[in-house]
Chains A and B, each alone.
Chain A
């Protein structure tokens, strides 16, 4: 009890010193921090969104839409496969069914059936094959499903793989878009099977962020059918074959009758910038096609001079200008009564590419900067008051030993902040409450020890023997009681999210730090006191 090996003493105080150094940066403002020598730690505890303000958005990728798109592709691939066979295979009733995630087709001539089946089987690709995974297989099941009928069904493995790829592509697209807002350190990550979490600290204009993520950003060029009267078609709902009825962006929406063939898509774009029209001065978006796109665009404009074509974003017509002359340079501009901000955002959307499917927001939590600041202020105030009350109370209850416990408590708090800074953990408002609760738990260990010492003294032991017994006998209890707290904390961490998780992290760090400070550090202090003063009476 009295004797600690030298290396142990050095180790313990070394840990305490490192803890203080790591916690130190939290006391300074960023500008002061920048002026400190580089050998000092500079990492501060991250503030959670609830403390610094910002947006937390959770999006869900619509599986239905991914399936729908895929079936469309499968259908056209099946058509190409049958038509492209030599000689071509005759078929009827080519149809897709979203509910069963399948495309079915009837082969006209029974003699062609085996050949057709073989051709369609080539559409199936094997996916997910790696040695560690049982989930490999082909993405499409191609089977005979009746008289002369073949069904191509999307498999679970295929869908999982496709969803994973879609999520990955969405994350990259969202990152490109959010980066345009110039915010610091956004978090964009996959959550679960079909979700994406977007956290942007300190963002002011949440609506703009939501608009940027919420738009699929699918750009398409189509020709307007000059023979159809759009308003008449819109009121009668009788759309000519090979045409489609689409509306514009404005309110009330203007109807357009377009030819149902996509000439070009945003995939052919290499760049898009917001600028101003040289003649009218209104905000426009200029774009540039890649080589293939430029060639195609040139050809289309050449063939359709004098006719209007439409530029669509997410199935809404932005603009439908007349082609005055062939556009051969591969560049163009879109004008559509934009505001400067809308032109900017549109350019961002076009540059970042389209999302593979629509993202639906399912959870949103945004906190304004002022509320965050208020929360920090009141959290700080409450924590300091709580600390002061505990310190006074501990001193009143155990005098000198209370003082030891209080010193250990301060070290404990420094260690918590040190570890949290080192881990780059996030401090939330419930996290501050977690630290305060740790204060309670930390002094509890000292209460257990001190109560034991009191009991031992009452039973007539010498100061040294009582203190020795107090520490040893309280130890098992302290471990037991901390493990139980730890169990529920781990559950919190495992199942919680956001602020709750922050609470669990601080509490866990606090429990470990308190075991160290309340037991080892106070013990060292007490040992020093015993050696130095050789007391005959324990003031407890």
Chain B
């Protein structure tokens, strides 16, 4: 029987911490550029957050006549309308900007249906009124903040405040990096984008915790090792696991990006990107941040600490 293939050799010794001058620049860019993009280009908010109407139709013809549909709907004078092919040549997505009142919003669908006439299959109709969209914005923001706070408290409780701060800093990095992709590719930013971001937060943190665990363990094991060396050792020791985990999750998500269909494309893309940026921030942000924050090794060598951590049983 063959032995498993080691994708990352056991004796890998990459000086990740020394690369930090480069990685700080990259991380800073990954944080600042998205914010700039959001400020300059803006996010392509879906109707969840902006209000409005979204209609997906399938036409009888094998190729939809976009020009004719556009002229028929523009003639209705119902404000800004976007019309685009969606996934297949006979599938059309129609987005209508929010109307001033809920009543007008409802009326606009009726008008569009009348304009499109018979022989059109309505695959999806979504109408979000102004009341709901404002609530969804608030809810989405609260969700991300609450998740971050919960994580901050948990990591603080399980480790030390330095780890909690490092975790949150790298999570903010992941979130802005992901939002940046939405801004750059002008992907629709909607409720499932918030779900994607929250999932990325949870998933990416998972990875940081594994490395933090190892740093803590090594702090106890090698009391005299310089911190730079110790961080490098911890990252390298967990590198094989980090790589394998991210590769498997990435492989699992990838088909959704390729054959998952239009409905889940944005979500899958955000997830795939989130997995990559999460791996990066674990190695290049979360761990090296410990140098700046100056983790105290005596925090983990007090008596009684080892029972709390469970994994600390020294051999």
Judge whether A374 and B261 touch: CB under 8 Å.
yes
Q: Tally the A-B contacts, defined by beta carbons under 8 Å.
A: 255
Q: Hey, which chain A residues are within 8 Å of B139, CB to CB?
A: 495
Query: What residues of A have a CB within 8 angstroms of the CB of B267 in the complex?
Result: 430, 433
User: B103: which of A360, A368, A370, A398 is its contact (CB, 8 Å)?
Assistant: A360
Query: Which chain A positions have C-beta within 8 A of B128?
Result: 362-364
Q: With A480-B158, A484-B155, A485-B205 as given contacts, are A539 and B252 in contact (CB-CB < 8 Å)?
A: no
Question: In chain A between 482 and 500, which residues have their CB closer than 8 angstroms to a CB of chain B?
Answer: 482-492, 494-496, 499-500
Does B249 reach chain A (CB closer than 8 Å)? yes
- Contact of B291 with A by CB under 8 A: no
CA distance A496 to B198 in the complex (A): 11
With both beta carbons as reference points, the residue of chain B lying nearest to A451 in the complex is identified as: B241
Contact B129–A500 (Cβ < 8 Å): no
Most chain A C-beta atoms within 10 Å of own C-beta, residue among B4, B113, B199? B4
- Is residue B260 within 8 Å, beta carbon to beta carbon, of the partner chain? yes
Which A residues are in CB contact (< 8 Å) with B209?
Answer: 477, 480-481, 484
Closest to B128 in A: A363
Interface residues on B, range: 35 or more
- The reply to whether B198 and A386 contact each other, CB–CB distance below 8 Å, is no
Which of B143, B195, B237, B313 interacts with A473 by CB under 8 Å? B313
How distant is the Cα of A386 from the Cα of B247 in the complex, in angstroms?
Answer: 11
Closest Cβ–Cβ distance, residue A385 to chain B (whole Å): 4
For A488, what are the chain B residues with a Cβ–Cβ distance below 8 Å? 147, 150-151, 198-199, 201-202, 205
Q: Do B252 and A389 touch across chains, with their CB atoms under 8 A apart?
A: yes
In the bound assembly, the distance between CA atoms of A496 and B206 in angstroms comes to: 22
- Residues facing A in B87-146 (CB within 8 A) are 102-103, 106, 110, 113, 121-129, 131-132, 139-140, 142-143, 146
Interface segment, one of A144-152, A284-292, A434-442? A434-442
Q: Which residues of A contact B260 (CB under 8 A)?
A: 378-379, 382, 433
| B122, B195, B251, B252 pick with most chain A CB within 10 angstroms | B252
Which one of A60, A363, A491 lies within 8 Å of B143 (CB-CB)? A491
A447-B245, A458-B10 in contact; A476/B58 too (CB < 8 A)? no
Contact of A117 with B by CB under 8 A: no
Q: A440, B252: Cβ atoms under 8 Å? A: yes
- A539 to B151 Cα, complex, angstroms: 37
Complex Cα distance, B207 from A63, in Å, reads: 49
Q: A379-B260, A379-B264, A539-B4 are in contact. Are A500 and B252 (CB under 8 A)?
A: no
A378-B261, A458-B10 as given contacts; A366 in contact with B311, CB under 8 Å: no
Binds B, one of A236-244, A335-343, A399-407, A515-523: A399-407
User: Known interface pairs A393-B251, A429-B264, A484-B205. Does A451 touch B244 (Cβ–Cβ under 8 Å)?
Assistant: yes
A490-B198 Cα distance, complex, nearest whole Å: 10
Assign chain A's interface to a size class.
35 or more
Interfacial chain A residues near B271, Cβ < 8 Å: 433, 437
Task: Tell me which residues across on chain A come within 8 A of B36, comparing CB atoms.
Answer: none
* Bound Cα distance from A20 to B162, whole angstroms: 45
CA of A367 to CA of B256, assembled, Å: 20
> Taking the nearest CB of chain B, how far is it from the CB of A340, in angstroms?
20
Chain B residues within 8 Å of A540, by CB: 3-4
List which B230-259 residues lie within 8 A (CB) of chain A: 237-238, 240-241, 244-245, 247-249, 251-256, 258-259
- In contact, B253 and A436 (Cβ under 8 angstroms): yes
Query: Does A469 make an interface contact (CB < 8 A)?
Result: yes
Bound state CA distance, A472 and B58, in angstroms? 56
Q: A365-B126, A437-B203 are in contact. Are A491 and B150 (CB under 8 A)?
A: yes
B255 contacts A386, C-beta separation under 8 Å: yes
Neighbouring B residues of A481 by C-beta, 8 Å: 205-207, 209-210
Which of these, A399, A439, A499, contacts B3 with CB under 8 Å? A399
Once the chains are docked, how many angstroms separate the CA of A394 from the CA of B1? 15
Whether, in the assembled complex, B315 has its beta carbon less than 8 Å from a beta carbon of chain A, the answer is yes
Q: How far is the CA of A478 from the CA of B11 in the complex (A)?
A: 24
Q: In the complex, A361 Cα to B128 Cα: how many Å?
A: 9
- List, in ascending order, chain B residues with CB within 8 A of A361's CB: 102, 106, 127, 129
Q: Which residues of B contact A476 (CB under 8 A)?
A: 213, 309-311
Instruction: Check A499/B192 contact, CB under 8 A, given A430-B264, A437-B199, A480-B209.
Output: yes
A386 touches B252 (CB 8 A): yes
Is A475 interfacial (CB-CB < 8 Å)?
Answer: yes
- Once the chains bind, are A485 and B206 in contact (CB under 8 Å)? yes
Given A60-B131, A381-B259, A495-B142; A485-B192 close (CB under 8 Å): no
Question: B residues within 8 Å of A by Cβ?
Answer: 1-7, 10, 56, 58, 102-103, 106, 110, 113, 121-129, 131-132, 139-140, 142-143, 146-147, 150-151, 154-155, 158, 191-192, 194-195, 198-199, 201-203, 205-207, 209-210, 213, 237-238, 240-241, 244-245, 247-249, 251-256, 258-261, 263-264, 267-268, 271, 309-311, 313, 315
Interface pairs (27), CB distance under 8 Å: A361-B102, A362-B131, A367-B124, A368-B124, A375-B263, A386-B253, A393-B247, A429-B264, A430-B267, A433-B268, A436-B256, A437-B199, A437-B253, A441-B203, A451-B238, A451-B244, A454-B6, A475-B310, A476-B310, A477-B213, A481-B209, A483-B154, A487-B150, A496-B191, A500-B195, A539-B1, A539-B2
| 7 A-B pairs closest in CB distance | A440-B249, A488-B202, A476-B311, A385-B255, A378-B261, A476-B310, A386-B252
